[in-house]
Structures are given as structure tokens and as C-alpha cells.
Structure 1
Amino acid sequence: MTIETVDTPPDPERMIEGLRDTGYKFNTAIADIIDNSIAARATVVDLQILMDLRNNIRISIADNGEGMDRDGLINAMTYGSRRRSDPASLGKFGLGLKTASTAFSKRLSVISRAGASEPLLEATWDLKHVADKGWELLLNDEPDEEAIDHLNTVAPKSSGTVVLWTDVDRLIKDYVTPGGNAAQNALNRAIAGLRSHLSMVFQRFLDHLDSRARDVEIRVNGEKILPWDPFCTDVADKVGDDKVKVAIGDAKEAEFQLRAYILPRKEEFTTDAALKQSRLGNDTQGIYIYRENRLIQDATWLSMYSKEPHGSLLRVEFSFTHELDEVFDIDFKKSQISLNEDLWLHIRDRFLTAPRREANNRYRQGKRSEARKKAAGYHDSSNRNIGSKEDEIGGANVNVENPNTGMSQLTNRNGTFRIKLKVGHAQKPGELFVQPVDQLDDNALFEPTIIDGHKAVRINTSHPYYHKVYVPNLAQGVTIQGMDSLLWGLCIAELSTISDSTAQHFEEMRFEVSRILRKLVEDLPEPDLEDVAA
């Protein structure tokens, strides 16, 4: 048998163009470049993102890190460069610098010096040159002058590096009129989104009070990036804390950290600034995953749950070191992890169960409180309508013997009986037939009651049916009257047909109806209380 080896180098143009489409977004691409600066021990990273009158964009990222000599620069610009000596480095696979850069630009240059007295050298991947000449890295001992000025501003008389993107063709759409506001506005939006992203991804490095990571200053167009803490630890409640050990080899273990936080409800924030800083919302709930103190995946439930409004107060920290890279199948963009079934189930069924229940309760408590406020006045028309028909409808005769105990004498078509009823007073003028209340026994939706001598119904505003069916329709007077009339009619019918032998059955039926309705409305959307008419 003869085995022949065949050298099959990839076509340079097709290969380098194909690597542009690895799925990078602008924010994650820039973050990958900053990873390299942090890996080089930089304390300052300065970004300049500028556009000229012809809509040509130039992105320059300068740092005061260790810098590179000729061999180091060539290695850094090699696709699949040699492994770093530090396995904990944020730069991991030797691809990020190149693939992140060419995802948005056709010309990537890196200018670096290893020390204050060392020469500057520039290495460039020019996609047009590669298409014409093949895998030729361009080396230049007279680097771009603007890049040199940028480096000297950030790292005067010291080592440092500049990553330069020119011929940027994939950041914003093409605009017909060069120099127009549309292109600049689009770029400004991209820069604003980048600032927000960097404040979250590098939070631990940006926060000088956070001892888990060394201090790094990041600036974008002269503006310092401030850290954003997704867990709002100064105001949130920590409701879960767990360290999970994982086997990583023969007799070896590593661990990752889980912490769960419940943020205050919207109305509980003391200032508008604090509320805005929290970024409270449905999209920001979930697990925030950190590798070596750098956020790599945010606001995800890892397919454990869908993002429902009742979980919007819950955020979970998931932190691990490079030791678990293989266990979690880290991709080369360092943008997501994959868990095996045991770890996935541990997080979902053991760690998250209690925090999710508590977050759900707090959210619903707040929403029900808002719903009760919204309910005020919306049952007035029902009370007027029922009051106009009370004599005509008739029904059982109820004589309250003891208002404190609710013991009453009831006479209906089946005879005269003594039963216990809830007895109360109108909470506002005219509220004699339909009365919304904060809570009922066993979280029933409704119950018959006597209000100032009138047969009435009390409706539980804390019941999910009220929250999801009544509240979205509060401004629809006819709909509210219809639902109120139904519940009032059921209570009148109960009092008209009840007997000693059936009283318990009627009570059980109300509780069972309440249970069924609670289940039926589970998947209905949460009402937007701000859209409900005041």
C-alpha cells in the first residue's frame, strides 16, 4: 500500500475573505482587540474612531502594554499564532486580532515597539494585496504617522502597540452623499453602543474598587469608559451563592462561582439615575458569564428558560477561570459556553429554583400593587349599573346578626339558614356591590360578601386573572362591567340556592374555579401598566 501526501494550501483570497464572515459583531470585535491589550499588561487602552468628509472610517486602538519586537509582531499577525505563555490570558486562540479586524476592514495594520528605545515596526494584512500576491504580510519600518502620534500620546517613552483599521467597509451602510449627517449619525450610534458594551464586558477591570481584576483605563474618542455592574450590588439582594467543583482530569478539579441577585423593582429605586443605571428590563435578565473576570456572554438563560417579564429582576453571575475552557467548550471568539447535562441541570434545578421563585414573587408583588392602584375607580360604573337593577333582580334575603363574626340569617328558595359571610363597609361612596380588595382566603378570585347591607362580591386584585385579564381592560368600561356583572351574578346565585348541605360545595367550587383560572392565564402576556389609562 502506498500512501501519498499532498500539500493543499488554501486559496489565499477565498480563505481570507471567508474568515471575514465568522460572525463577529462590531462590539465583540473591538473587545477582542482590547483583550490583547490587557494580555500585554496595558493599563491604558485608547480608541479613536473617526470619519472624514468622504465617509472613510479610521479606527485606531493604542495601548501602553509590553509591545512587540519584529519576531513577536510577525507571530501576532500570523493566523493561528503560537500559544501565549500565560494560559489565563484573555487572548486565547491566536485568531481574534486578525479575524475580528478583517470582519470590518480590508486593511489591518499593527504598529508596535518593545521599549522606549526600541524601533517602531508596522505589519499589515491588506486583503487586496493577499488577493493579488498570496499570503504576504507587509512589513514597514516607517509606520503610519497618525498611528505613531496616537501611540506617543498613550505610551510616551515606553513600550506600546497600535492596532489600526483602515478601508473599513462593514461598519456602517453605504450612504450616497459623502459627508452627510446620516453616515455620521450611524457612526455615532455605533460608538454609543460600543461604549455601553465595553462598560459591561470589562467592568471588573474598569472598576478600581473591584480587586478581582487589575485596573485598566479604556477611552473612546477621549471619553473614559465607566464600569457597569449588571448586578447592582449596592442595592440588589444576593439570594444565592454556590461554588461548583468540576473534574478536569485525573485527580484534578476546578470550580466555578454562581451568585444570584434580585434587583429592586422599578418603583423601589430612589433616583431616576439609579434606575437608568440598572438597565432594568426583560432583555437584561439572565446569567452573565465571566472568563478570567472578562464578560463573555451576557443576559442568557442557556436555553433553561424563556425571558418572561416575571423574571426581569433576576441576574446571575457565572464566573470561571481558563482551567474550565475545555469543559465548557469555549469558542474561538470567547463569546459563549456549552454545559454538559449534569452541570446544566444542577444550575437549573438546584441553584436557580429558589432565586427564580423569589424574583417572581417580588415582581408580581410590585405588579399587583400597581394593579390595585390602577383598579381604583374602574369599578364605579359596575356599582352604578348593578345598583340600578338590585331591586329588580332580588334574590335571597340576608340579615346580619353579628357583623364581627359574619354570622347571618339567610332566607332563599330552599328555606332559612344560618351561615357565615364576610361583612364589611364601602371603601368609597357608592362601592356597595363590587369591591376590589388586596387579598382573599386561599387566593380565591372572588367571594360573596355583605357591604353595608347589600349583597355584593369582593374581587381579589392579587389573583393572576385580575392582573392579566382585568388590568389590560381597565379602560374598557363595558368589558369591566361585563366581568364584574358575571362575578356578582355568581355570588347572588350562590346565596339564592345555597343550603346547609351545599354551602361547603359552593365554597369549594369558588376555590376550584379560582385555581383553574390561575392556571389558564399563566401564558397570557404581562400587561404594560404604563399603557393602562390612569
Structure 2
Amino acid sequence: MNEGASEHRAPPSAASLIEAMRDIGYTLETALADIIDNAISAGASTVSINYDTTGSEPWLAVIDDGEGMSRGDLLTALRPGSRSPTECRDGNDLGRFGLGLKTASFSQARSLTVVTRSAGATSAARWDLDFVVERDDWVLQLPPAFELGSTPGLSGLGASGTAVVWQKLDRLADATSGSSLTDHLLDRLDSARRHLELVFHRFLQGEPGLRKVRIRMNGRDLRPFDPFHLKSAATQRLPAESIQVAGQKVDIEGFILPHHNKVSAKDWEHYAGEGGYLKNQGFYVYRGGRLIIHGTWFRLARQSELTKLARVRIDMPNGLDAFWKIDVRKASAQPPYVVRERLRALINEIAGPSRRVYTSKGHVSATNSPATLWHRRANKGQVSYEINRDHPMLAHITEALPDGHASELEAFLKSVERAFPIDAIFSDAASDPKSVSSPSLPSEDLEAVVRLTTAALRDMGIPLDTVLADLARLEPYRSSWAAAEPLIRKSFQDMDDKNV
């Protein structure tokens, strides 16, 4: 460098930077999703993820039947930062920074080989991190520097398309795996499968405006996981709307998933997704039909047990990447101000129906009926539950007690109310609502309860039709209504016959 020079070139060390590129934050799931993005952008209709985890040198290959690349396009695609994020892209292009292929692959493997076929020509190139570190230079290897025939996983590559092959899989499993290496790899790949079934579910199932894509893992077809459970008639769809951002349209639609008593136990468990309903509520942001972020309210609201059935689909075009601050991994986003403000107002509109679905249990609670066992009391934001002291059965028992024992019964009832297991019930219902149930009432006990209750209600001048309507909505009668209804009618008839 000359003394007094106003400029100085400071190229990064290839050895240092290429190692640093491995730690941008990719997981196996997000890395595979980035490779599939490239395949879909290349017009692929089938993407196959093949792997061998049992050999001494495990490998993984992602093969598509897209349009492939020329030799020049391949070399450009393998150059880090091959395209500017500010460059205008085709509406179906799922890429972003021109880094995904490289950084995603480096995050999992020390060797990346890309073999592509187009117009009858086959081209190949390889990034070997050990070679780059040794040379400390950005040098791609080309055949015959490596033998193409010895590269695994290429048998599925057709007349056109691209194969991305990972070898030296030092990040897929750590050294502590030991003899369980194969099982650990398979566990991680199975987790990746579930992730891809969610991220690309709209391509897997096919829908207007998106090309249907088949994705396979070692010959097994991925099945779309629709987080909105649209196949269920019990799923509520809220009115869709659009917001204009920089002249482009962002589509928003809210959904309320069915309550657990409206779906099968298998569907309830399935649509909870990994992490459960509480974690997976919130906004689902799609870019070009591909899910990029989900399970967040963008700090506009807290995740709540009563809103856990609410999910909102947001569709954005790739032309708004800069406004949404899409990151390299396409796993993080921030809504622009105009969208954020609309979403803030939308949360309350969506949360209301979600709370009603989750708390309704499918029936109306007749809290004003004399036969109600529990009263809900709300005072200054505090909610408590009290035993109905005017319940006919309780009044009957109290009247029959010897002098002085009524106060002891009242003390016991207050103890029951104070010991009401709110925390345990909330925890059990949140983790597995179908597991929380009331014990059934034996037939002889049900008959005694009906007889005492109906006698008291009739003495109060309440007609049979009103008694039937009230008790049909209350426990313990509602869940045993087939047996309770004839008992109620018989009790009234017996009392009528007695008074004749």
C-alpha cells in the first residue's frame, strides 16, 4: 500500500468467512426448505430428498426435475451473493439474497456438490470447505478435480433438473451420538419431514394460483399439513380483506379452529401441531404461497389459552421483502407499519370468536336456574365460583339437619369453594382437554337427585316445560339426558297423581 493512499482493498479471508457462513442460524429443517425453494423456482413438479444414514459416510441429496442450469448459470448460482436482494424477481421466485443454496448447505455439510442437466448437457461443481480452508481462497472444484461417478445420490437425476448433494455431514449429528448416530439422524430427518409438510402444504395440496409439487423423502410422499383445518366444517372462516403496501396487495384471512368436542380425538391432536395449540396460535405469513413464519402475534398480543384456536393467514408477494425485513433463512419477518396497525385491530376481532368457541363447550349454561350447582362471581376483575346455596337439594338437606349443624355444613361448603382446584383444572384442560371429564352419576343417585330437585322446583310453581328446558342445560342432567328426561317427567306425574 502506498503512503497517503486514500483506498485500501480488504478482501475477507475465505477460510474464516466460509466457516462463519455455517452459523447464520439454519436448522436442518430450514436448510432443506431453502433448497426446495430453489427447486420450485426452477419449475420442478417433483422434488426427491434421498439419504443414506447407515454407511460410514452418510450423505443427503435433494433432486428436482426442474429446468436445470447451464454451466455458466451453475457457476453463478454457486457464487455467494449471486443476486442482490433489491433485484426485481419473478412472482414465483422463492429466492431472496442469492445465498440460500450455499449457506443452507454449509450449515449442515462440509461438502456441497451440485450436478445439473439442461438442454442435453450435464454440468457439475463442488464447494469443499476443507479445500477452501487449505487454500484460503474462494475456489470451486470442477470435474475432473472430483469424480462425478463417485458422487452419491445422482441416480434419480433425469434428463433435466438439478441434484444438490451434501457430504461430510458434520452438523447433522454431533460426536456425542456415538452408536446412536443412525437413530439420531433419522429422528432429525423425521422432524424435518413434518416441518416441510407445513411450510410447503399449499404446494403439496395444490390450489389456484400455485403449481402442485410432489415432495418425497426416501420414496415416501410428504402429506400437506394444513394449519387451518379447512377440511372441517366446524372451522370458522372470518371475512377476508386486502391491504395495499407500496402498490402491492397483502391478503389477510382469519380462521377459528374447531373446539375439541367438534372433531375426533385424532384430528384434535393432529391439528395442534408440534408444540400444541397454545404455541401455534397467531399469524401465519406466506411469501409466494410458501410459509415463512408462524405461531406469533408479532408482539401485538400475548399468546393466551382462550385465543389458542385463532390463526390468521397473511399472503404477501416477494416484491415486499424489504418492507417485511425478510431474513436470509426466510424464517423471520416484521410486518410494515400499515399492516401492523391493521393487524393490531384485527386481533380483537379474531380473539372474540376464538374465546367463544373455546369456552362454549357446545351448550348454554343456565346460571340463573335454581337448579344450578355453581355460581360464577365476577368482582373488580376477579372471578370466583360458589356453590348455589339455594339449590333445592341443598335446601332439603339443610332443613333436615339437627339444630346447630347447619352452620357446620356452611363451613364445609366454604372450605370446598376455597379448595376449588383451579390451577390443576386449567393445566389439565390446557394440555389435553379431552382427558378432563366428570365422573358419571350412578342411576340410583341420578334418580334421587331428579326426585328431590323436581319436587322443589314444582313446589316453587315452575312448570314442567321450564324445568325440562333448564335441566337439559345443566349437569349432572345434561350428560345423562336420555335417562334424566323420563325420570323428570315421571317425578312430575307421580306428584300430580299424589295430589289428585
Q: Which TM-score band (shorter chain)?
A: 0.7 to 0.9
- Once the 2 structures are TM-superposed, how far is the Cα of residue 270 of structure 1 from its aligned partner? 3.6
Q: Is the 8 A contact 2:67 2:160 kept in 1?
A: yes
Aligned position for 1:228? 225
For residue 352 of structure 1, what is the aligned residue in structure 2? Answer: 347
Give per-residue Cα distances to partners, 1:257-278, cap 9 Å, x unaligned: 1111111112210462565255
How far apart, CA to CA, are the structure 2 residues paired with 1:284 and 1:229?
12
Equivalent in 17, 20, 29 of residue 19 of structure 2: 17
Q: Give the deviation of 1:174 after TM superposition.
A: 1.7
Question: What residue number does 2:252 align with?
Answer: 258
Report how many aligned residue pairs link the two structures: 405
- 2:62 is aligned to 61
The higher-RCO structure (CA 8 Å, 6+ apart) is 2
Pairwise CA distance, 1:283: 1.8
How far apart are residue 284 of structure 1 and its match?
Answer: 1.7
Over the aligned positions, Cα root-mean-square deviation in angstroms equals 3.4
Q: Secondary structure at the match of 2:9?
A: coil
Query: What secondary structure does 1:333 align onto?
Result: coil
Q: Structure 1 residues 444, 300: closer, same or farther in 2, change over 3 A?
A: closer
Distance 1:75 1:122, change over 3 A: same
Aligned position for 2:165:
164
1:365 to 357, 360, 364: 360
Percent identical among aligned pairs is 26
1:455 and 1:161, CA in 2 relative to 1: closer, same or farther beyond 3 A? Answer: same
1:332 paired with 2:328, answer yes
1:309, CA displacement in angstroms?
A: 1.8
Tell me the CA shift for residue 329 of structure 1: 1.4
SS in 1 for 2:97: coil
Quick check: 2:105–2:112 contact (8 Å CA) kept in 1? yes
Q: Which amino acid aligns with 1:526?
A: F
For 1:290-439, list aligned pairs within 5 A.
Answer: 290-348=286-344, 350-366=345-361, 424=370, 436-437=373-374
Distance 1:51 1:87 in 2: 37
Residues in 1 aligned to 2:59 and 2:141: alpha-carbon distance in whole angstroms: 19
When residues 525 and 342 of structure 1 are mapped into structure 2, their CA distance, relative to the original with a 3 A threshold, is farther
Cα distance in 2 for partners of 1:131, 1:93 equals: 24
Cα deviation, 1:88-119, whole Å, max 9, x if unaligned, reads 3111211000000001111111111213x21x
Q: Does 1:123 align with 2:121?
A: no
Alpha-carbon distance between aligned partners in 2 of 1:205 and 1:260, rounded to the nearest angstrom: 20
- 1:424–1:452 CA contact under 8 A, matched in 2: no
Counterpart of 1:513? none
Partner of 1:76: 77
How far apart in 1 are the matches of 2:31 and 2:329?
9
Which residue number corresponds to residue 395 of structure 2? 454
Distance between the aligned counterparts of 1:102 and 1:34, measured in 2? Answer: 15
Whole-angstrom CA distance in 2 between matches of 1:301 and 1:312: 11
Where 1:218 maps in the other structure, the secondary structure is strand
- The aligned amino acid for 2:244 is K
Query: CA–CA distance in 2 between the matches of 1:481 and 1:183?
Result: 64
Instruction: Work out whether residues 272 and 280 of structure 2, in 8 Å CA contact, stay in contact via their aligned partners in 1.
Output: no
Determine which structure has the larger helix proportion and give its number: 2
1:3 is displaced (CA, Å) by 5.7
Q: Which amino acid aligns with 1:244?
A: I
Contact 2:203 2:212 in 1 (8 A): yes
Alignment partner, residue 414 of structure 2: 485
Q: Is the 8 A contact 1:123 1:138 kept in 2?
A: yes
Q: How does 1:5-44 map to 2 (within 5 A)?
A: 5-44=7-46
Deviations 1:502-534 (A, max 9, x none): xxxxxxxxxxxxxxxxxxx9x999331437885
Using the TM superposition, give the Cα deviation of residue 346 of structure 1 relative to its aligned residue in structure 2, in angstroms. Answer: 1.8
1:69 to partner: Cα distance = 1.6
**Residue 445 to residue 10, structure 1, CA distance change in 2 (3 Å):** same
Aligned 1:216-295 pairs, distance under 5 A: 216-235=213-232, 236-246=235-245, 248=246, 253-270=247-264, 272-273=266-267, 275-277=269-271, 279=273, 281-295=277-291
Match of 1:469 in 2: none
The 8 Å contact of residues 260 and 268 in structure 2, kept in 1 or not, is answered as no
Residue 215 in 1 paired to residue 204 in 2?
Answer: no
Residue 141 of structure 2 is matched in structure 1 by 138
Cα deviation 1:380-425 (Å, max 9, x = unaligned): xxxxxxxxxxxxxxxxxxxxxxxxxxxxxxxxxxxxxxxxxx8956
SS for the counterpart of 1:168 is: coil
Compared CA separation, residues 525 and 533, structure 1 to 2 (3 A): closer
Work out the CA distance in 2 between the residues paired with 1:77 and 1:98.
7
Structure 1 residues 367 and 524: CA distance shift in structure 2, 3 A: farther
**Partner SS for 1:255:** strand
Deviation at 1:121, TM superposition (A): 2.3
Distance 1:85 1:326 in 2: 11
Q: TM-score, normalised by structure 2?
A: 0.73
Q: 2-side partners of 1:147 and 1:170: how far apart?
A: 20
Task: Give the Cα separation in 2 of the matches to 1:287 and 1:184.
Answer: 36
Change (3 A) 1:301 1:368: farther
How far has the Cα of 1:175 moved from its partner?
Answer: 4.3
| Structure 1 portions without partners, runs of 5+ | 373-421, 426-434, 458-479, 490-520
1:527 partner letter: S
Shift of 1:50: 1.5
Greater share of residues in strand: 1
For 2:218, give the aligned amino acid: N
1:223, 1:282 → 2: CA distance? 30
Q: Distance in 1 between matches of 2:303 and 2:164?
A: 38
1:261 to 1:453, Cα distance in 2 relative to 1, 3 A: closer
- Give the conservation status (yes or no) of the 8 Å contact 2:288–2:315: yes
Query: Is residue 242–residue 250 contact of structure 2 (8 Å, CA) maintained in 1?
Result: yes
